[in-house]
Structure formats: C-alpha cells, structure tokens
C-alpha cells in the first residue's frame, strides 16, 4: 500500500468517525427532546426547548429541565466575560490610542497645551507612532478642556491639513487647508462638552464631546525643506485658554524629531488600565450607554475602581491576546470586500466603507465596527478630509499589505512597484514603509523609510512612470538608485500610499498604482 492510498483511507476513516459522532449526538438530542416533550400537557415546539446535553465550541453543556448545571454556569460565565473582554479591546482602541498619544508626547516634554511637539526635521522611524508620514511638518498638542476651559487655537496662514479629534478619536473640526479658514489662517474656539457660557464672535467654533482633545496640524515642505513650515508654526501658532486671551502664556515648541518615545496603546493586560484612565477622566456623555455598558461588564465603570480579581484578570489577559490577534487579522488580512479600493490589485482603503463616522451603508448597516477597529489599530487622526471626495484638497490613503500574488510583503524578497505617469496629486504623493509589529515606520538604515515626489530625486521611465524598487539591499538598476526603498531581512512590512490634494483621476479610478511584483 503506498502512502497516498494510506492517507486516503485514514482521511476516509476520520470522516466516517466524525459523521458517526454527529449522528450519535443528533440521536441523543432527539431522544432528550422527546423525553422533555412527554412531560408537557400540550405539544411544545422543539425549537424552544433545551436538551439535557449540548455540545458546543466551549465544551459540553449540561442541563436539568433547562436549568444549567453548576459546571455549565461556570463555563458560560467565563466565556461571557471572555467575549466581553475581547469586544472591549476591539471597541476601546480609539480611546486608548488617544491616551497613548497623550502619554507619549508628555514623555517627550509636551505636557501642556502651549508646549507644542513639532517635528522640525520631519518624523523619522525613531518614535513609535502609528503610520505617521515623513513628508509634512507635524505640530501637535493635547488640549484639556476640563482643566483649562474653552481653548483658542490661532492657526497661521499656509497651514496644511489640520484636525481636532476628541478622546474617542472622533472628528471635532478641521483647520488649515480643509478647514473653514481654507488655509488663510484664523481663530478657532474649542468648547468643552458642558460649556454654558456665551460664545464670543470672531471664531470658528466647535464643541467637543470630551475634555481631552488631540490637535494635529501639518505644514508642507517648500523646495523639499521644512524651514517655511517651522517658521510658520513658531511665529504664527497660538494656543491659549479663552479666559487668558488678554494675557496669553508664551508658546514653547519642542523639536521631537529623532527622539525615541512611544505613542501606541498596549496590546496586553495594560490596555484595560489605559481604557479605565480615559473613562474615569472624561464626562459620562463621552460614550453611549451601550458602549459604557460593555466596558462596565469587565469592570471599567466611571466612578468605580478597576480592580478585577485573579479569575477576571486571567480571563482578560486571555481576552486581550485574542482581541489583539483579531485586530491584526482585520487590519492585515481583511475578509471584507469593501477593503479593496480598486476592482483589481491589492491596494486597500484606509477608511474601509468610506465614512469617517464608521457608518455602514449610510447608517443602514449601523456602526461599521470592523472598519473602525481596522483603522484605529493601524492609524491615527480622523477627519472627513481624509475620506470625502475633495478634489485638490485634503488627502487620500491606500494600504498595501500583500504582493500581486496575495502574499504578505516579505523583507527578505525583492519587489518592484510601478507608479504610472501623472500621479493625481495637486501637492505631492508619497510611499512610506511600516513595521507590522508596531504599525510605525520600518526601522532600517534609511533615515526616512519613504519616497516622496516632493523631495526624492526619482528617476522616471521613458513613459513618465516611476518604478520603485524594494529589497533588503539596493535592487535598483544603475542610475535609478534613488528609486530604492530598503526592507529588512527577517521582517515583514506594509506601505501607505498618500496623495495630498487628490485629483479626479484618483476618484474615478482612471489612474491606478501597480501592485508589488516579485522581482525576477
């Protein structure tokens, strides 16, 4: 008997045994239901009855006349707590992501509204920062409306895309180019959720549902340099409480370029403590009762100490591990058809479903939970300007996690990527490489693991297209060395393709970037 024949027989026997086991279980269930029905005066529908023994994915569940046994009660409650622990992780990521940013920038010296963290020399791969870009000058500050009251942000003219997000990473207001000042500069007033005073004139006004808010401003490069944006922010950006408008505190700009610090939420049990910190600090109205109820079911409730016993701590430790794995599957290997941007290829949407409020099918499908988890596990900043069709304004994003054959991008291999001629970006386009572990920039020998049409001396092909070469060593042909992005042997990677000021060919898909192709 050959091996192939033996394997066929073995597989056949296993299948028969499984079918026999299923048949036996069905027979026992039918017998149990029959015995239960005999104890009623009327004919009871079978679909409302519970057999004495039920086989499930969490094991055997036993009942006496529908009453769960002691062992079953323990088993299902452990499972319920586990499920809610997983769901708390998946749904709590937006809140802990803001908290991670707050803690990270505080550790870098930006511990007050007027101490702005600025990337004078661009964001490099030293800090852990979810899918940041290397092509704009970031200026960031954390506002605390509970401590300081209504806050004024004076945005200088020339500011690029800017946004304020609340403590659950929900959009509050845009500033700069896509904001109501349209890049001409202006005064913005951010009101706390419980504000009852008068609203003065002369401001672009927004009310935040939370006390803590993230302010993110971007400045464009001029001639490939950061000088103009650094000067713009340092001379023109003002942040102060409304009550101090006549005696504004001095601004301080902390250059965090090349610094090492972490802004990413925990992926272990510490996650629940980070979430609890947010829930305790923010007003009760930050979240709806359903979400508050989910978090409370694992012990995270406003006004109450979070101190789970050993049993619950063990369950939550397991739950966060499964939750983390689930988030990684949702991000890196989506099963959702809406993840794809184009009809062909493997480029995927940053905002799956195309809605910054994470509403599915214009709200008919409710909250698009996997889309929200997917975005915030991999990225930061939430604004309509990154989603809506705003020709020549805002920005658009696409991810590539897979090569043309549908396999994860591998740092050991060499790839080519074709960017067709006339990329539809009014400002510029860029490609940045990221590490799948940290979802931050890939750390290689290149200071900036990126290519930008604005500052990289790219060499074009005869037809105007650009071929990008990716590999652990420079795999570009002679004369095109500048077109190389370095991967790292032994590590995976993924990339984000950005267009600032996207043009019509991007939206009507008459222009499509190529896939990552294994270099022959």
* Nearest residue to 416 via CA among 434, 432, 398, 403: 403
Residue/partner pairs of 186-190 with CB below 8 Å, 24 or more apart: 186/154, 186/155, 187/152, 187/153, 187/154, 187/155, 188/152, 188/153, 188/154, 188/155, 188/164, 189/150, 189/151, 189/152, 189/242, 190/143, 190/145, 190/150, 190/151, 190/152, 190/153, 190/164
Under 8 Å between Cβ of 500 and 429: yes
The mean predicted confidence, pLDDT, of the chain is 94
Reported as a single tens digit per residue, the pLDDT across 380-402 is 999 998 888 989 988 899 999 99
Per-residue pLDDT of the chain (520 residues; tens, 9 = 90+): 565 565 555 555 555 555 555 677 788 888 888 889 888 989 999 999 999 999 999 999 999 999 999 999 999 999 999 999 999 999 999 999 999 999 999 999 999 999 999 999 999 999 999 999 999 999 999 999 999 999 999 999 999 999 999 999 999 999 999 999 999 999 999 999 999 999 999 999 999 999 999 999 999 999 889 999 999 999 999 999 999 999 999 999 999 999 999 999 999 999 999 999 999 999 999 999 999 999 999 999 999 999 999 999 999 999 999 999 999 999 999 999 999 999 999 999 989 999 999 999 989 999 999 999 999 999 999 999 888 898 998 889 999 999 999 999 999 999 999 999 999 999 999 999 999 999 999 999 999 999 999 889 999 999 999 999 999 999 999 999 999 999 999 999 999 999 999 999 999 999 999 999 999 8
Q: Tell me the pairing of strands 171-176 and 161-165.
A: antiparallel
Q: In sequence order, what E strands does 234-343 have?
A: 238-241, 252-255
Cα distance between the two ends of the chain: 42
| Rounded to 5°, angle at Cα 506 from 505 and 507 | 95
Q: Tell me the pairing of strands 53-56 and 59-64.
A: antiparallel
* Nearest residue to 517 via CA among 403, 399, 398: 403
Q: Which two tokens stand for residue 100?
A: 């991670």
Give the list of residues 6+ apart from residue 203 with CB closer than 8 angstroms, or none.
152, 187, 188, 189
**Sign of the dihedral defined by the CA atoms of residues 105, 110, 116, 117, in that order:** negative
Reported as a single tens digit per residue, the pLDDT across 429-454 is 999 999 999 999 999 999 999 999 98
Torsion of CA 6, 12, 13, 18, to 10 degrees: 150
The predicted structure's pLDDT at residue 109:
96
Q: What are the φ and ψ backbone dihedral angles of 393, each rounded to 5 degrees?
A: -125, 170
* Nearest residue to 453 via CA among 475, 427, 434: 427
Reported as a single tens digit per residue, the pLDDT across 231-250 is 999 999 999 999 999 999 99
65 in helix, strand or coil?
coil
Length of the chain equals 520
Give the list of residues 6+ apart from residue 260 with CB closer than 8 angstroms, or none.
126, 127
The predicted structure's pLDDT at residue 152:
98
């Amino acid at each position: 008997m050959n091996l192939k024949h033996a394997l066929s027989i073995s597989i056949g026997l296993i299948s028969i045994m499984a079918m026999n086991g299923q048949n036996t279980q069905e027979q026992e269930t039918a017998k149990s239901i029959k015995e239960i029905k005999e104890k009623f005066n009327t004919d009871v529908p079978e679909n409302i009855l519970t057999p004495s023994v039920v086989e499930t994915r969490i094991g055997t569940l036993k009942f006496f006349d529908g009453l769960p046994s002691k062992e079953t009660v323990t088993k299902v409650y452990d499972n319920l707590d586990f499920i809610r622990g997983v769901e708390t992780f998946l749904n709590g990521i937006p809140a802990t992501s803001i908290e991670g940013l707050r803690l990270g920038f505080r550790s870098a010296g930006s511990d007050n509204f007027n101490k702005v963290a600025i990337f004078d020399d661009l964001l490099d791969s030293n800090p852990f920062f979810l899918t940041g870009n290397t092509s704009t000058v970031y200026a960031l500050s954390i506002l605390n409306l509970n401590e300081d009251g209504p806050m004024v942000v004076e945005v200088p003219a020339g500011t690029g895309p800017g946004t304020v997000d609340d403590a659950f990473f929900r959009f509050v207001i845009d500033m700069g180019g896509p904001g109501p000042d349209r890049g001409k500069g202006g005064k913005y007033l951010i009101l706390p959720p419980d504000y009852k005073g008068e609203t003065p004139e002369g401001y672009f006004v927004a009310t935040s549902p939370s006390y803590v808010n993230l302010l993110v401003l971007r400045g464009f490069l001029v001639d490939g340099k950061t000088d103009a944006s650094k000067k713009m922010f340092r001379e023109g950006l003002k942040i102060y409480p409304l009550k101090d408008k006549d005696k504004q505190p001095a601004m301080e700009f902390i250059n965090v370029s090349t610094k090492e610090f972490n802004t990413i939420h925990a992926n272990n049990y510490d996650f629940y403590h980070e979430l609890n910190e947010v829930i305790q600090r923010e007003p009760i109205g930050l979240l709806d009762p359903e979400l508050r109820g989910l978090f409370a079911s694992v012990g995270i409730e406003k006004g109450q100490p979070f101190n789970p016993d050993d049993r619950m701590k063990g369950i939550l430790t397991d739950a966060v591990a499964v939750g983390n794995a689930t988030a990684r599957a949702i991000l890196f290997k989506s099963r959702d058809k809406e993840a794809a941007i184009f009809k062909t290829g493997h480029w995927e949407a940053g905002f799956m479903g195309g809605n910054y409020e994470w509403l599915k099918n214009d709200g008919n499908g409710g909250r698009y939970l996997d889309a929200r988890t997917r975005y915030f596990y991999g990225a930061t900043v939430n604004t309509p300007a990154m989603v809506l069709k705003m020709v020549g304004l805002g920005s658009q994003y696409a991810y590539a996690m897979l090569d043309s054959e549908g396999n994860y991008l591998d740092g050991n291999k060499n790839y080519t990527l074709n960017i067709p001629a006339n990329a539809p970006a009014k400002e510029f386009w860029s490609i940045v490489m990221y590490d799948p572990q940290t979802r931050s920039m890939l750390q290689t020998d290149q200071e900036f693991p990126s290519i930008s049409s604005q500052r990289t001396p790219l060499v074009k092909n005869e037809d105007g297209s650009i071929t990008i070469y990716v590999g652990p060593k420079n795999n570009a042909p002679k004369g095109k060395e500048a077109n190389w992005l370095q991967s790292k042997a032994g590590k995976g990677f993924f990339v984000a393709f950005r267009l600032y000021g996207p043009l019509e060919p991007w939206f009507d898909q008459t222009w499509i970037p190529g896939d990552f192709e294994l270099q022959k």
